[in-house]
Amino acid sequence: MNSEPFINKIELFLDKYRLREKRILAAFSGGWDSMCLLDVLTKLGVKPAAIHLNHNWRAEESLKEAQNCEQFCADRDIEFYTETLDSSVARTETAAREARYAFFERCAQKYRTDCILTAHNYDDNAETVLYRIIKGTGTKGLEGIKEKRGIFYRPLLGVTRGEIEEYCRRNNLKPNNDSSNNDTKYKRNLIRKEILPALRKINPDAVKSLNSLSQVASYDNCLIDEYISALKEPYKNFHERSAALKSRLIYQIFIDNEIDYDRTKINYILNFIEENKNSKSGKTCSLTKGLWILAGKKGVQVLNRHPSHKNQDCVKIGVL
C-alpha cells in the first residue's frame, strides 16, 4: 500500500474492480480532477491512454488546453488521443455531455476496451444530487453518481475537491483553468458558485450531508429491489397492487430503459393504465421513440414496436 492516503484510495479502487487487468482509458480534460487522477495512476505504475475532447467553444483557449494535455502526457510517456467537437453541436450542457459520452464510446471501440476512468469527485456527487432534487427526481436519482456504470469507472468519488487541489499544488501540477467554469448561465456552475455556498451558511457540511443522502438512497433502493425481486410475480394483478408498488414498477420501466422521467410522467402512465384497464383491444401510449405501453383488459405490456406491426417483441409487465 502507498504511504499517502490519497493515493491509497485510488489503489484500492483499482484492486476492487481488478482494473490493472484491463486496457484503461482516462478521460482527460486537463483540469484539476483529471490531471490529478492521471498523475496518481502513473505513480501507481498504470499507463492508461488519455482521451481528450476539445469542445472548441473558446477558440484559442481550447486549443491551448488541448496542447497542455498533450504535453503533460508526452512528459510522462502516456498515449494521448484527441478529437475536436464539430461546430454544429449546440453549445448547451446537455449537448456537450451527449457529445462527450459519444466520444468516449468511440474511444472504447477504437481501443477495444470496456474501461474508461472519469474524474468525478466527492463534491461533484453532492452537486449532482442537489441538481436532481431541484429538477425533481425519484429515489434512484438521489443515489447520485455511480462509482461504476457500464464501462465507466469513477475512482475519485471518495475524494474531495479540496484534496484534489491540494494534491495538484503539492506536486507542482499545472492544470487547465477553463474560464467557462465561472459562467453561471450553466446550471452546474450556478450550483457550485452560488447555491452550495448559500447552503453552507445553513449547514457548513452541506456537501457531506448531500453525499450521506446519496448513500442512504442507495441502501434504501437495494432494499426495495430485493423486496420486488423476492415476489414471485411482481406484476401480476397490477391493479390490485398498492399505489406505492404500482408507482415503483412504472418508475422502474423508465430507469431500465434510460428514459428521462419525473413524477408528472410516472403519474401520467399510471393514470393511462387505470383509464384503459377495461379496454378490449387495448390502448397504447408512447414512452419514447421505439417504446410504447399497451394497456387493456388482457394486460399491460411494454412494446419496442408499435402494436400495428406484426410479431412485435414485447416484455409482459402485468395482468390487469
39-53, 86-100, 160-174, 294-308: least confidently modelled range:
294-308
Count the Cβ atoms, other than its own, within 10 Å of residue 207. 23
pLDDT of 3 reads 47
The residues, ordered by sequence, that sit 6+ positions from 52 with a Cβ below 8 Å of its Cβ are 27, 28, 29, 30, 66, 69, 70, 80, 81, 82, 83
Q: Do 177 and 237 fall into the same domain? A: no
| Residue 40 near residue 9, CB atoms below 8 Å | no
Q: What percent of the chain has pLDDT over 70?
A: 94
User: Would residue 135 count as lying in a domain?
Assistant: no
Confidence of residue 312 (pLDDT cuts 50, 70, 90): low
Give per-residue pLDDT as tens, 238-247.
778 899 998 9
Pairing of strands 116-117, 152-153: parallel
Same domain, 22 and 106: yes
Helices 32-43 & 5-16, crossing angle to 10 degrees? Answer: 80
- Do 177 and 79 belong together in one domain? yes
DSSP track, 20-74:
GGS--EEE--SSHHHHHHHHHHHHTT--PEEEEEE--SSTHHHHHHHHHHHHHHH
**Co-location of 306 and 243 in the same domain:** yes
Residues 291 and 254 sit within 8 Å (Cβ to Cβ): no
Are 26 and 168 within one domain? yes
State the Cα angle at 180 between 174 and 183, rounded to 5°. 130
Q: What confidence score (pLDDT) does residue 277 get?
A: 87
List, for residues 224-235, the tens digit of each pLDDT value. 999 988 887 777
Residue 155 has pLDDT above 50, yes or no: yes
Over range 145-159, report the average pLDDT. Answer: 96
What is residue 159's predicted lDDT score, i.e. its pLDDT? 95
The answer on pLDDT for 10 being more than 80 is yes
Task: From 244, 191, 253, 236, select the one nearest 220 (Cα to Cα).
Answer: 244
Confidence of residue 1 (pLDDT cuts 50, 70, 90): very low
Same domain, 170 and 302: no
Range of the domain at 161: 5-119+154-182
Shared-domain flag, residues 162 and 26: yes
CA distance 178 to 52: 14
Amino acid at 271: N
| pLDDT number for residue 20 | 94
> Could you tell me the pLDDT band of residue 13, with boundaries at 50, 70 and 90?
very high
Q: What is the pLDDT at residue 259?
A: 85
pTM of the model: 0.86
Q: Are 48 and 24 in contact (CB under 8 A)?
A: yes
Residues 17-44 as b/e (b if ≥16 CB within 10 A, e otherwise) read: eebeeeebbbbbbbbbbbbbbbbbbeee
CA distances (Å), origin 71, targets 53, 62, 144, 172:
15, 14, 34, 15
Q: How confident is the model at residue 97 (pLDDT cuts 50, 70, 90)?
A: confident
C-alpha–C-alpha distance, residues 51 and 66, integer Å = 10
Identify the residue with better confidence: 214 or 2.
214
Query: In the chain, how many domains are there?
Result: 2
Structural contact between residues 1 and 11, judged by C-beta atoms closer than 8 angstroms: yes
Report the distance separating Cα 178 and Cα 200, nearest Å.
25
Give the Cα separation of 39 and 117 in Å (integer).
13
Considering the chain, what is the average pLDDT of its residues?
Answer: 89
- CATH code of the domain in which 166 resides: 3.40.50.620
**178 and 273 part of one domain:** no
Residue 129 lies in a domain: no
Query: Does residue 104 lie within any of the structural domains?
Result: yes
In this structure, the answer to whether residues 172 and 263 fall within a common structural domain is: no
